[in-house]
Amino acid sequence: MAVLNSVVDKLVSFWTLKFIRKYLKWFFLCVSFTGSLLKELDVVPKTYFSNRRNIFNLYFVKISWSWNLVLLLPFIFLSNSYNRNLTFVLKRLLSLVVATAIWYLCTESFFYIEDITGECYESESVRVVLGKFNTKAECRKAGFLWNGFDISGHSFILAYSTLIIVEEMDSMLYLVQQRRTAFLDVLYVALNAIVVLWIWMFGCTSVYFHDTIHKVLGTLFGILGWYVSYKVWYPKPFSPGLPPLPSEQKYH
C-alpha cells in the first residue's frame, strides 16, 4: 500500500505541472507532423511496432475504446463521489456517453468518406479498377485492395482518448490520500499506464502508417472533439460538467 500511495502521489505531482496539460494538444500535432516527415524521408528503421499485427495494436489500440470505458467508468464514479450526491455523479458519467457518441460519429464518418472516395484494385502493382465492389469491406473480403481517402482512425482515437483521460484524472489531483481507496489508486495508475501506451502508439502510427494529411486530419478531429466538449460545452450549466475543482471539494 505504501508503494502504491507513493506511485500515485508522484503521478499526481506530475499532472499538476500546468505546462504539460497546456501543451498536450500541440504535442500531438507536432508528433503527427514530425513522424510523417520521418516516414516520408524513410529514416526510421522497421521494428516490431511497424507490424500492424503487433500485440499492442491488436489487443489494445484495436479495442481502445473498450479499454477507455472499462477504466474510466469506475474511476469517474469513485473519484467524483466524495461529498457529492448521486445526481452529480450520474451527471458526470454522462461525459462518457458524450465521448462515446463523438468517437462513434467520427469513426463512422471516416469509414464513409473512405468508401465514397475509394476504388477497388486487384493489387498494388496491378492498378485495375474492379467496379463491382462499392465499399472497402466488400473489396477486402474478396481479397483485393481498397484505395480511398483514409483519415487515420488511430491518430484520432489515440489523441482523443489521451486528452479526455487526462481531463477526467483531474479529480484525483484534489483528493487527499485519506479520501482515496486502494481500488481508486489502482485505477489511477492503470489510466496513467494506458495514457503512456496511447501516446507511444500514436507516435508509432505517425512514423510507420498513413499519409501525412490522413494523420493530421485524424489528430485534428481528436483535438476538436475534446475541445468542443471539455472547453466549450462542459463548463456550461446544462452539460455533464467538469471534474470537481479544489474549491468544489467539500472536505470536513
252 catalytic per annotation: no
Residue 2 has a pLDDT of: 84
Grid cell at residue 54 = 503487433
Residue 131 has a pLDDT of: 76
pTM of the model: 0.93
Residue 178 has a pLDDT of: 61
Calculate the CA dihedral of residues 54, 47, 150, 148 and round it to 10 degrees. Answer: -100
Residue 250 has a pLDDT of: 46
Residue 130 has a pLDDT of: 77
Residue 81 has a pLDDT of: 86
154 catalytic per annotation: yes
Can you give the C-alpha Rg of the chain in angstroms? 21
Could you list the mean pLDDT of each consecutive 10-residue stretch along the chain, which spans 252 residues? 89 92 95 95 93 95 97 95 87 97 97 93 75 87 90 97 96 77 95 98 96 97 98 95 68 36
What's the rounded Cα separation, in Å, for the pair 1 and 24? 31
Active-site residue (options: 154, 180, 214, 215) = 154
Q: Where are the domains positioned within the chain? A: 56-244
Closest CA to 146 of 176, 174, 195, 111: 111
Q: Decide: helix, strand or coil at residue 129.
A: strand
Residue 241 has a pLDDT of: 93
Active-site residue (options: 25, 136, 210, 215) = 210
Residue 252 has a pLDDT of: 34
